[in-house]
Amino acid sequence: MEILAEAVKLFIGDKEILKGLDFHLNPKEFLGIIGPNGSGKSMFLKCLYRVQKPTDGKITINGQNLDELSYRESALQLAVVAQHNFYSFDFRVMEVVLMGRSPHKRLLDRDTAGDYEIARRALAVVGMEDFAERSFASLSGGEQQRVILARALTQEAECMILDEPTNHLDIKYQLQIMDIVRGLDLTVAAAIHDLNIAALYCDRLIAIKNGMVVGYGTPRELLTEDFIYTLYEVHAKVEHTADGHLYIRYLPQHHTDERSTDRCRFHPA
């Protein structure tokens, strides 16, 4: 699975959200997309999984123009795990996971024994096989995201898009989700908020700011102290651990303006 985006632009009303993005996702690569809130990370991914339609530019999957694929055809190739997942009805976990089989069916086709077997295997991969008959709404946030990941696995797509799926989760569940995804033999593009998680799991990173690509490379190449300041306007120390990983430690952002400092002081009555 190879995805190529060329000069992708997106306007919402009069506002330009994406300003000519170029993007290349290699087969079996775990690519992290980083950048400040509002930079365009999620909007770009939404263009990939067709919630948003680019105003200009081209996106291809294995050389085929995304616009030429039906939604069913693209769903057979791209599975999505988003940040928020809401259902109007109280579905059982198994029912939610079986929704991932929809691209493989015609209208009104019933779930088969084969579909149930695929769903059970997906639940086992994410460690949720004992929750199949539970109400989805009764689960914790981390458990729900593992179920949504299982739903994506049942699509049997070659590529998985992660649209900041761990932002609101406890650290334990963030690591669980990323461990599972890293262990899959899939092509992955993930918008990631936490730079330490991005450094730990990603083969390569692409940085977006103000709707433009401002950097790309391996975590070791890209995540320097100077670049982190350029991207996020925060000071940080980048440390190299004994096992070859990066650890990013953020520094207090000291006030340089005396008037701002005075406003932040506590003045007892």
Pairing between β-strand 187-191 and β-strand 159-163 as defined by DSSP bridges: parallel
Confidence of residue 85 (pLDDT cuts 50, 70, 90): low
Whole-number pLDDT of residue 42: 94
Q: Pick the residue with more confidence: 237 or 87?
A: 237
The predicted model scores a pTM of 0.89
The two structure tokens encoding residue 246 = 């990066």
> For the chain, what percent of residues have pLDDT higher than 90?
79
| Alpha carbons 85 and 142: distance in angstroms, whole number | 12
| Alpha carbons 69 and 27: distance in angstroms, whole number | 19
25, 28, 67: which is closest to 47 by C-alpha?
A: 67
Find out whether 28 and 50 touch, Cβ atoms under 8 Å: no
Torsion of CA 33, 54, 75, 89, to 10 degrees: 90
Pairing between β-strand 212-217 and β-strand 3-12 as defined by DSSP bridges: unpaired
Whole-number pLDDT of residue 268: 58
CA distances from 185 to 57, 64, 80, 112, 158 (A): 29, 22, 16, 25, 8
CA distances from 80 to 17, 37, 223 (A): 21, 20, 26
Domains and CATH numbers, the chain: 3-219 (3.40.50.300)
- pLDDT at residue 135 is higher than 80: yes
pLDDT tens-digit series, residues 14-31: 999 999 999 999 999 999
Which amino acid appears at position 54 of this protein? P
Give the mean model confidence (pLDDT) for residues 183-200. Answer: 95
- pLDDT at residue 52 is higher than 80: yes
pLDDT tens-digit series, residues 225-236: 999 999 999 999
